[in-house]
A and B are shown apart, each in its own frame.
Chain A
Amino acid sequence: MSTLLEVRGLNTVYRTTEGQIRAVDGVDLSVGRGEILGVVGESGSGKTTLVTSLMRLIKPPGRILKGGEMLLDGEDLFRLPRSEMPARRGRDLALIPQSAMHALNPVIPVDKQVAEAITAHGKAGRKAALRTARERLVEVGIPPERHSAYPHELSGGMRQRCVIAMAIVNEPKLVIADEPVSGLDVVVQARILRLISDLKESRSLSMILVSHDLPTVTRICDRIAVMYAGRIIETGEARAVFEKPLHPYTKVLVEAIPQVRGPKQDLRSIPGDPPNLHRLPPGCNFEPRCPAAFADCKTVDPSLEEVESGRQVACLLYHDDERE
């Protein structure tokens, strides 16, 4: 699998009244062609800032620090003039935003909205665009009789399908989905994830899928990167990360989610609160909440290192050389 996206040294900061915070802190990641990379983290982990940065939609008081690279098909999108980006969004990389209801225009029928995404790039006339839009709506499972419906006339799942249709209609190289199923009922969640999985097969879609729910995205992701306090703290093949999480925080993410089958285990929870980016500890960011922390964790800030083939983790438990 060849590499489609290569991000190196991405730093995004926000200026606040209490000083500057680094919401994305030196993130490297890559996505192969036809691959789904899951980015998993909780509130405040920086995953939405990451998505917004990749779309280059960060607005003041936030900004992307110079020096980072975002190579899509070998071209560094961070070096493009800002004025070039609207033409690239939707065509090179498309976003499936968190809330489908808010992403859709309430006063325009959904087929027209999807068509607008085509005509906005001047790729086709209105009639042809509408025809293509309806084909994509059928592809994502919206029956023809619903094509001219307004967003409020559709269920949450159908709205999500429309937003997915809009994202794929210009055949972007990369799709970025920000929590595409959170807030939906379980039955609908399963169907939307199946749709994404089907589209990945039929269109060899390349995707970054952002979620707070590691077990749920394990099945459709090829690889997973776990974020905490703006950094990637573990990454590896999806199933391996789920079955054998290494970082203590990843373990919590796996064990905190109840399962309906298998032995009934006590759910894991961790003490403390999500990290405060204004007051990060001197050592490992997770140390104050970590059940496995030892003395060095208070002083040594672990870097992301490869511990086995294809698996990287930022934790002193696995870094022999950093351990005293």
Chain B
Amino acid sequence: MTRKLCEDIREMLVDYADGELSPGQSSEVTEHIETCENCRKLLTALQKTLDLATVVWENGLKETEAVKKPARPKPRKIHWFRYAAVAAGILIVVTTSIVWREINRPQKTKISFEEIERSITESANAARLLAATELLVDYPDAKEIVEQQYRYIAQAYPRTPAAEKIKVKIQ
């Protein structure tokens, strides 16, 4: 058997053992190993190493049977209670501050509807009296009556625009 042929066949031996050669190449190798003892030995050794390696690997796998799956990492726990406590704290602080401000705010004087109505009526009366008095201003004989009227309006309706006008005129 020529050395060159053996080298060529050895190149194909692994694929031959794995059944990955074409039918033509496969029969070529089969023919060769029937007559070449060295190549036949190598083929047998190829198979034997694989069998032995499988035993080695299986033994190794048996040893690793004790290795258990690591525990699945727990998803981060959300502490709702803590968040709720913080939220409640904020709520308490805000509510307290609002209530506190409300208590300490200077109270506005509340005016009732009757008071408004009375104020309007007084202003209207005062204005009507003032207008009537103004008509007498040009008559010299009525000077005393006018002054008397002014005093009356200022006294009777002191917080009206008419009373304010009269104060200015008297000054």
Is B a genuine binding partner of A? Answer: no
A residues with a Cβ closer than 8 A to B are none
B residues with a Cβ closer than 8 A to A are none
